[in-house]
Structure 1
Amino acid sequence: MSTDQPREDDPFQKRPSEPPGSGEPPYPGSGSVPPYGGPGGPGSPYGNEYGAADPLAGMPPLASRFRRLIARIIDGLIVSIPVSAIFSAATWGWDPWRDNAKSTGLGILISVVYFVYEGLMLTTRGQTVGKMAMKIRVAVLENGAVPAGSVGWTRAAVYNLPEVVPCCGFVFWLVNVLWCTWDQPYHQCIHDKAAKTVVVSTVQ
């Protein structure tokens, strides 16, 4: 009986149909795709070295910094104009250039009202009036959801409440709002990082 034919039960005998190298484990440089996508592979478009899924996958593109700035200006006017008018009427004869105590009080009042306004808007629809006008919205980084509950309130608090602290409050606010100009890859300000949110466009 001939023994030239490969035995079916021989684990070390390669089948004629198997390509060279079949059954050998992949090794660096072999051309095999590394697990989890690897650098630049399937997964994060930002080249996550572990190939982790990009949190923004399936979301609209990030909102431009210019649109975010204009939205903040609109919201600032919406809050500050009526609050200032009511404050001036309640403190008749107030001179904003001479009465520093009342000027500071007005600034704190505007910050607190803005905090309530922004917190309520973000937790219910992810947008303030300014963001609606500029067609952008705040989204939870993990899943794109509306920042309901503590997420939206945390974002509003980190943006607004430090301003009530004398002296250093404005410095923190300035660093906070400028942070998105160099942050990568999600263009987050400090209040975004604290709440784990991003600002995206509502139009493709």
Structure 2
Amino acid sequence: MSTDQPPPPEPPEDDPFLKRPQEPSPPGSPPPGGASGGAYPGPPPGGPYPGGPYGGPPPSGGPYGGPPGGSPYGGGPYGPDPLAGMPPLANRFKRLVARIIDGLIVSIPISVIFSLSTRNYDPWNDQARSTSLSIIIAVVYFVYEGLMLTTRGQTVGKMAMKIRVAMLENGAIPEGRPGWTRAAVYSLPEIVPCCGFVFWLVNVLWCTWDQPYHQCVHDKTAKTVVVSTVE
């Protein structure tokens, strides 16, 4: 009788204790488990968006080519100067005088023409007559200012005071919609009974406390600012 023992069975290939030598990785290939060394590859360094050290968007420049990080409506208490790179802001008194000049330029000839054309008007309807005159002056002033601002950024009064209206973003002339929007917000509310004058008064006084650009409500609506033409 033969005493030879049968050979032991070979372990299965999925045996967890079976150790196979790992083949060397080719040069330049990433290490196993991703860049972070874990079981799954980790995210690339930085945030999901390009930009700053934390993945935020890159800072934008201020108005008129100012320093980076400027906001079109001002910065924080420790941020960059929001007025950097801008022409000097117009003096509030000069702005008031310019409005008076423009108001006289429009209202005087309109009032004379209206009085001559309505001299036989019923004297008992003086209130209706005054209201009609106010509406006509407001509409003519709207057209006058809109045309002047969209073509040269100045009315006659602003030219006399050496100030101009500019886009807050880049200092350009408020051509098209911004110029007409600014003119409409200033002049047209006056034709609304009762509350029109209150809105107009709040509008023009807003620049006395607004910071940092001394804007009235019509400036904020059109995103404009009034600056000096004299450096």
Structure 2 length as normaliser, TM-score?
0.66
Contact 2:154-2:163 at 8 Å conserved across structures = yes
Aligned to 2:113: 86
Residue pair 1:118, 1:128 contacting (<8 A) in 2 also: yes
Q: Percent identity?
A: 78
1: CA distance, partners of 2:201 / 2:120:
31
- Long gaps (5+) in structure 2: 1-57, 60-66
The alpha-carbon deviation at position 59 of structure 1 amounts to 2.5
Q: Indicate conservation of the 8 Å contact 1:43/1:53, yes or no.
A: no
- Structure 2 equivalent of residue 121 of structure 1: 148
Residue matched to 2:76: 48
| Number of residue pairs the alignment of both structures matches | 165
Find the aligned partners of 1:50 and 1:78 in 2 and give their Cα distance: 45
- Read off the aligned partner of 1:140 and give its amino acid letter: M
Q: How big is each residue's C-alpha offset from its partner over 1:27-69, in whole Å with a ceiling of 9 and x where there is no partner?
A: xxxxxxxx96xxxx97559653684783x43331000100000
Change (3 A) 1:100 1:76: same
**Residue in 1 aligned with 2:126?**
99
**Which amino acid counterpart does residue 173 of structure 1 have in structure 2?**
W
Letter in 2 for 1:100: Q
Structure with higher Rg: it is 2
Letter in 2 for 1:58: G
| Letter paired with 1:186 | Y
Partner of 1:8: none
Does the 8 Å contact 1:88/1:94 carry over to 2? Answer: no
Q: 1:145 to 1:42 in 2, by over 3 A?
A: closer
Distance in 1, matches of 2:106 and 2:138, equals 9
Matched, 1:168 2:195: yes
What residue ranges of structure 1 are gaps of 5+ in the alignment? 1-34
- Matched residue of 2:164: which SS? strand
Higher RCO (CA < 8 A, seq sep 6+): 1
**1:143/1:97 CA distance change after superposition, 3 Å:** farther
* Alignment correspondent of 2:5: none
Residue of structure 2 equivalent to 1:180: 207
